[in-house]
Each structure stands twice: as C-alpha cells, then as structure tokens.
Structure 1
C-alpha cells in the first residue's frame, strides 16, 4: 500500500504533520477533501493504508512515515473507523504528540449487523451528498466494508498519556455514542466532541467543515503545549455593581 501525501502551499511554513489511518473499505480518494483542507492550513498530511489482515505490516508503514525527519512536529495520528481504533491502540507506543479518534469502531461495530444494501451502508456512513458521490464513483472503495469484523476480540482504550481528541457522530448507527463514551471513561482528560446529526464517517459527513475546524483548533492548541492551552477564549468580565 502506498502513502498518499498532501503538503502545505508553496512558500508556506509547515505547522506539523498528520498521519491519517483510514477505515474499512476506504481509499485515499475518500480523504482528498480532508487532505487538501488541512494542508491548506499548512499541516502536512500523510495517509497510510490500513491492512486489517496484516497489522504488523501496517504498523511498520506508520513507523516508517514517523521516522521521516523531513516531516515537522508536532506529529498527530488521525484515525477513522478501524483506523481510529488502531490509532487509539498504537498512540501510547508510537512517537506521536497527540491523536484524533474520529468515528471509533469497536468489536461490536464489525459484523454486529449487516447493512443489507449499498444504499443502507452509505446512509450509515454519511449524509454529505458530495462524499456519497465520491465513494460511489470510487472503483477501489470496498463496498460492504462496515460488515467486516475487526481483528481485535476486545478493545480497551487506555490513557496514552498524550492529548486525545475524540470526534463522534451523535447519530452514528455503527458505533453507538454510549459505547464510545464508555471506552473513554478511563481517560477523563480526553477532549470529546459529539457532532449533532453526525453519522459514522464523521470526517466526511455533512458537518465536515465544522469537524475540520475543531481538529485545527485542537492542533493549534497542541502546538502551544500538551496541556492544550486555549487559543481562543472568552474575556474575563468584571461587572461593577452600582
């Protein structure tokens, strides 16, 4: 599997690196919009294909990208669906500064139910008409991917000691919100944001602009420090009583 790259505009100063791990069925075409948007904000984006049949080889590819000294820090894993699960599991042991978990998949998310038709699978994935067209026209897209069981019998998301942004659709029919919140009970410092009306492919859903903006704000906070100091904050108001 190749690594797909999106770089900052010519003449721009890169602000850091995102290593994107896609979900079941997805190809680089699914992340063209996301890659161009984040790279336009001067974040270098590298998409690494995830092979659920060979997780060791997948980890080696990720480690090879992370070892590229030409890529600027901070470095952040961004995963979606099975890629989100893998990002959450690998983050504690990889030289990354943070992780974005978007549309976490859990063992019960894979094979728990069958999406009886392509139309049902698309509806579970996204409400964005543009993205629906992209995946429908992508010959490499693995239809039926959401029916594929995950290679992990159980997933316990433990605190990696690194900043974590969790993004999840409030209307995700693949992984219910309650299951995601329970997975992060042991990590009270995780920044969790639910997207109203959001479905499973939350990076490519109808609210993709707001989701991308939330990620950028997280990344810019991370640049200031691992405790994620505010970049934008409300002023302190002292109202005198007369």
Structure 2
C-alpha cells in the first residue's frame, strides 16, 4: 500500500491549499477517497495517511508533508476519530507549519461494538460507505474499543483556527461529550450534523460536510480571523 493517498486539483486550475488527512482507528488513507476527490475538485490538494494508533510513522510522515515546499499553502491538518487527537498534537508541536485544523468525530470513551453489523451502522448511515468498509480487505474491524496510549486533546497549545465537525447521532463518541471537550477554546468553531454518525466525513451527509469544510478553507485563505464570505443563509 502507498505511504499516502493523494488527490490533486483539476488540470488547468491553481491549487488553493493542501489538506493532510490523518485517518482513525481501523482505517487507511484510501477510505477518504470520496472526500479527497470532492475537495480536489474545488482545487485543494489532499494527502491522506493511515491510522496512527497502529502505525507510529504517521505523525512523522504528516510532518514531512507539512514541510514539503511543493505542496501549496495554506496547509490544514484534518483528523478523523483518533486522527483528530494526533492532528491536534502535531499542530501544537509545529505551529508555524499548520494553518488550521479540521477535527471530525473526536473520540471520547471506548466503545464496544458487539459485532461488525453494529459497528458499521454506528460508523456511517451511508450505504455506499458501509459497503466500502465491509468489502475493504485493508480496513480493520473491531478497533473502536481501544483508546489506550492516545495523546490528549491539548487545544490550549493550538494557536490556529479549528473547525470541529460532529454527528448528532454519533453513538461511538456522543456529541455532548465531544462538545464538552471543545468547550472553553475560543479558536474552535463547532458544527454538528442532524442525523450524523461517527465517520462524519464519510457519512450520508458527506456533501454538506464537504461544503462546510470548503467554506472554512475559503475563509481561511482570506485571513486566520476567518472573515465571513456569505451571510443571511437560513
């Protein structure tokens, strides 16, 4: 398997920035193909890495991508599930290299799935993504109960804008617990999704989630203060 998965902007368009995705428990970077293609269509380059809980080289490889001058800025770390914790730690360690964070499905407490059917239902309501995970030989099932050895969410050490995305129907990481973890950090902007489950980037509402990320990136390109671009949408 490649050290990372990549999706680039369409030919003839100037790249608008780079997203470096850190996958969650059981996942690999290829799981984010749909997200990567959608963001690349809007001229953002996407590089997706694997699960740092089982591959200790992931943070170092993410740091190398941050330092890669051939990749355009702003450079944004995207972390899903436990990848969110590793992304936040990397942003704290390399503040000059990271322009912003997108944290999705922040893990809170261990979860016992009770079998694959329960796990895949809790991960995503999207039948396409359920099929992708079920038939993916490189996806590891039954990993959501392990939270040992994870870095803490030290957002007090993060000085860049943070977009926090969470599904309101996340049974793996209940939304109230995730929102409590983000509370008190003024740089964090939280967006919750009605009906959303744990793998929010790959859930049934993936189009709305991707659009939310693009709007955040477009505001970031203007300023780290994230000035409003559009107003009045109900």
How does the TM-score come out when normalised to structure 2? 0.93
Q: Which runs of 5+ in 2 are unaligned?
A: none
| Contact preservation (8 Å) 1:82, 1:104 | yes
- Find the counterpart in structure 2 of residue 134 from structure 1: 132
| Contact preservation (8 Å) 1:22, 1:82 | yes
Q: 1:1-242 counterparts in 2 under 5 A?
A: 2-53=3-54, 55=56, 57-94=57-94, 95-106=97-108, 108=109, 112-152=110-150, 154-158=152-156, 160-234=158-232
1:198-228 CA distance string (max 9 Å, x none)? 1000000010000000000000000000000
| Aligned-partner SS, 2:71 | coil
CA distance in 1, matches of 2:61, 2:117: 33
How does the TM-score come out when normalised to structure 1? 0.90
Distance 1:70 1:113, change over 3 A: closer
1:132-156 CA distance string (max 9 Å, x none)? 0111111111011212234227544
- Structure exhibiting the larger radius of gyration computed from Cα positions: 1
* CA root-mean-square deviation: 1.7
Residues paired across the two proteins, number: 230
1:92 Cα deviation from its structure 2 partner: 2.0
Q: Which runs of 5+ in 1 are unaligned?
A: 236-242
CA distance in 2, matches of 1:3, 1:91: 19
1:109-145 CA distance string (max 9 Å, x none)? xxx3311110000011000011001111111110112
| Contact preservation (8 Å) 1:115, 1:121 | yes
CA distance in 2, matches of 1:50, 1:113: 17
